[in-house]
Amino acid sequence: MMSPLESTVLFSIGPVPITQAVLTTWGIMVVLVAGAFAMTRNLTVRPSKRQAALELIVATIDTQITETTGAAPAPYRGFIGTLFMFILVANWISLIPGMEPPTAQLETDAALALLVFASVIWFGVRGAGAGGYLRSFTRPNPIMIPLNILQSLTRVFSMFVRLFGNVMSGVFVIAIVASLAGLLVPIPLMALDLLTGLVQAYIFAVLAMVFIAATITDGAPTTQKDS
């Protein structure tokens, strides 16, 4: 068995190696974008069942964002929603025989964590200004600046390690059980892996929202923050 920490390079484009995870990610992107484009072509005021289901997804994401940040969901909907949907589909793609979740590879999870780190900066600067974003590191007092800087790095590190560990371990356990006990025995573990994939996608998205909201809140002036 190959180590789960190793990536399989299928081919290279110049100096860029194209791994199985990248190829699977492209496939997921094509399916998601094409499916989204196909399903949102004929949106009407009187929704069909399909449109109602899509609107239910959007309304649920909006509700989660509003309850977590207390702000209007529109600026964060695209980032948080796409993050959740991509991670969920990537985690569940292991149900297709022969497919391996991209999130079971360290580079994909690290890329997601890097995007969260960048989005915290982006939304923090856009919401509270550059000064406000820098001011967020002085909470609760300037002595905490080194620790806050360290925390901003370690929390995203913990995010991708958590996601990677859960998904990779699930895939690894199923692979071991399947190699030892045949076809039907891993099914309960695969069902558990579905739940794990959903929970991990939800946790990753919620943590991203919490980090963004905390940065905006901490970056606000003291009087505004108190109010």
Partner 1 sequence: MTIDFWTLGLQAINVGVLIWLLSRVFWTPIAAAIGARQTATQTALDDAADVQAKADAALADVTQARAGIAAERTAALAEAAREAEAQSKQAAAAAQTQADTLLAAAKATAMAKAEDDRAAANAASATLAVAMARKLLAGLDTQVVQAAFLDRLVAGIAEMTPSDRAALVATPGGIDLVSPDALDAAAQAKVTAAVHKALGGKPDLQFVTDPALIAGGELRTAHFTLHNSWRADLDDIAGALTDAA
- Residues forming the site for partner 1 (CB under 8 A): 5, 7, 15-19, 21-22, 25-26, 28-29, 32-33, 36-37, 39-40, 43-45, 47, 51, 54-55, 57-59, 62, 74, 77-79, 81-83, 85-86, 102, 105-108, 110-112, 114-115
Identity of the residue, 36 or 149, whose beta carbon is nearer to partner 1 in the bound complex: 36
Identity of the residue, 16 or 96, whose beta carbon is nearer to partner 1 in the bound complex: 16
**Can you read off the two tokens belonging to residue 112?**
């997601």
Q: Is 211 exposed, middle or buried (0-12, 13-18, 19+ CB in 10 A)?
A: buried
Taking the complex as a whole, the smallest distance from the CB of residue 195 to partner 1 amounts, in Å, to: 23
**DSSP SS3 for 95:** helix
Identity of the residue, 68 or 136, whose beta carbon is nearer to partner 1 in the bound complex: 68
Identity of the residue, 43 or 199, whose beta carbon is nearer to partner 1 in the bound complex: 43
Taking the complex as a whole, the smallest distance from the CB of residue 46 to partner 1 amounts, in Å, to: 8
Q: Which residues contact 176 (CB under 8 A, 6 or more apart)?
A: 1
Q: How many whole angstroms separate alpha carbon 129 and alpha carbon 136? A: 11
Taking the complex as a whole, the smallest distance from the CB of residue 99 to partner 1 amounts, in Å, to: 16
Identity of the residue, 83 or 128, whose beta carbon is nearer to partner 1 in the bound complex: 83
To the nearest 5 percent, what fractions of the chain are helix, strand and coil? 80, 5, 20
Any idea what DSSP says for residue 8? -
Q: Which of 198, 147, 60, 132 is nearest to 68 (CA)?
A: 60
Residue showing tokens 């982006």: 122
Taking the complex as a whole, the smallest distance from the CB of residue 65 to partner 1 amounts, in Å, to: 11
Taking the complex as a whole, the smallest distance from the CB of residue 24 to partner 1 amounts, in Å, to: 10
The amino acid occupying position 63 is T
Taking the complex as a whole, the smallest distance from the CB of residue 11 to partner 1 amounts, in Å, to: 13
Q: Where are the beta strands (DSSP E) in the chain?
A: 9-13, 16-19
Q: Which residues contact 154 (CB under 8 A, 6 or more apart)?
A: none
The amino acid occupying position 38 is A
Identity of the residue, 31 or 185, whose beta carbon is nearer to partner 1 in the bound complex: 31
